[in-house]
Amino acid sequence: MKNIAKRTIAGVAIVATLGFGTPVLAYAGTTTTASSVITTMKQWRVADRIYRQRLRAINIVFLAAVNTAKAHLALATGPTSTATERISARASYRYAITEATINRSDALSLLGKAPVKPIHR
């Protein structure tokens, strides 16, 4: 009975992470157009603030996915689990970490480089 409760909690945590993480990654994936040129410090500050907010959102989603995977691993590898359950849990953990890393890498690629500070002459 305990095992079912633990798996249910872990499943809900994973679904919640994916449910909240996907919109954040979609938002973080939007990039500015190439035609926008930053010429003033005021424009740069706004662009830099937006870039950092998107970067922070990507990192929060990644850390949430990692923490969920760790929690699921801890629940699945308790003292009452069998060797087969522990092997399966570790494989699921590795898969979740790999997926989180790939999603973070893709989101960072879509985010692009930080805005360049304008040069004052």
Q: Is residue 15 part of a domain?
A: yes
Do the domain assignments include residue 117?
Answer: no
Note whether residue 96 is domain-resident.
yes
Pair of tokens at residue 33: 């157009």
Percent of the chain beyond pLDDT 90? 59
Residue 6 belongs to a domain: yes
> Alpha carbon of 24 to those of 43, 53, 59, 64, 103: distances in Å?
24, 11, 10, 12, 12
118 within a domain of the structure (yes/no): no
In a domain, 42, yes or no: yes
At 79, which amino acid appears? P
Tell me the pTM. 0.67
| Count of helix runs (H) and strand runs (E) in the chain | 3, 0
Residue 85 lies in a domain: yes
Range of the domain at 11: 2-111
Confidence of residue 119 (pLDDT cuts 50, 70, 90): confident
> For 7-57, what is each residue's pLDDT tens digit?
565 555 565 565 666 655 565 555 554 447 888 899 999 999 999 999 999
**Domain count along the chain:** 1
By the 8 A CB rule, do 27 and 58 touch? no
